[in-house]
Amino acid sequence: MPRRRPTQLAQRIISRARLCGVTLAGIAPADALRQSPSHRQGEAADLPPEARSVLVLALAHPAAEPALDWWDQRPGHTPGNRALIRAAGELAAWMEAELHIPARDVPYGIDTGGVFLKDAAALAGLGVIGRNNLLVTPAFGPRVRLRALLLEADLPAAPPLDFHPCEGCPAPCRRACPRQAFGTGAYRRPPCRREMDANEANPYRIQDVSSLTYSIVCVKYCRACELACPVAAGR
């Protein structure tokens, strides 16, 4: 294979990610993630030393397709996350075979070796952290879900994003919260967690599209702070 400049290589990887079905992709240096606000808190395991770059994948979860987000007991848990896992697997295989870059899909949970995906996505230039405490992207607002791959290759950092959606916004995201999780200003986890517990206590039964004979039980977790954000809400 002829040697490519890192920028060309990064563009090629991002284009391939879109072919694998993700909506957005971006690359951040692993060292920047090691130093990010959430990773500095020390709740997560250190990134493995061989990781040099982080490829972040985002899948749009528009309000018109709520089922992408419904949580069930099957592997991957939501249709959107299963699509992201599939895309990450295909990309890792392609990178190893075509580019000879070792790539590792990162688990979702922080306690199982995952990374802080919003930090990674902000550093990869996909969006900014909004006043709803979520990644807000220019093209899909906060209505995206994330996954990451660790790459053993140095790739160029994304340029800083000139995007300031919360400036001057009256923050409908914060007023929409049914538990006043933003009552003191910053996001607080305990009230939000109480809402998630209430959602789990009220599961829904839906038809399994892959088999007309079974129905599955799923949880529709609260998305009020996400759906209330006007950024790209028409998509």
Query: What is the contact surface with ligand SF4 in residues (CB under 6 A)?
Result: 130-132, 136, 165-166, 169, 171-173, 176-179, 181, 192, 195, 222, 224-225, 229-231
Nearest to 138, CA basis, from 46, 60, 83, 201: 60
Shortest CB 137 distance to ligand SF4, Å = 11
Q: Pick the closer one to ligand SF4 by CB: 27 or 173.
A: 173
Shortest CB 127 distance to ligand SF4, Å = 10
Shortest CB 48 distance to ligand B12, Å = 16
Residue span 118-137 as binding mask against ligand B12, x where in contact by CB under 6 A, dash where not: xx--xx-----x--xxxx--
The enclosing H or E element of 14 equals helix 6-19
User: With binding defined as CB under 6 A, does residue 23 bind ligand B12?
Assistant: no
Say which residue the tokens 């028409």 belong to. Answer: 234
Q: Pick the closer one to ligand SF4 by CB: 48 or 178.
A: 178
CA distances from 179 to 110, 174, 175, 187 (A): 24, 10, 10, 11
Residue 72 to residue 79: CA distance in whole angstroms: 9
Q: Pick the closer one to ligand B12 by CB: 94 or 221.
A: 221
Residue type, 139: A
Q: Pick the closer one to ligand B12 by CB: 25 or 135.
A: 135
| Footprint on this chain of ligand B12 (rule: CB under 6 A) | 36-38, 41, 69, 108-110, 114, 116-119, 122-123, 129, 132-135, 142, 144-146, 187, 189, 192-193, 196, 221-223, 225-226
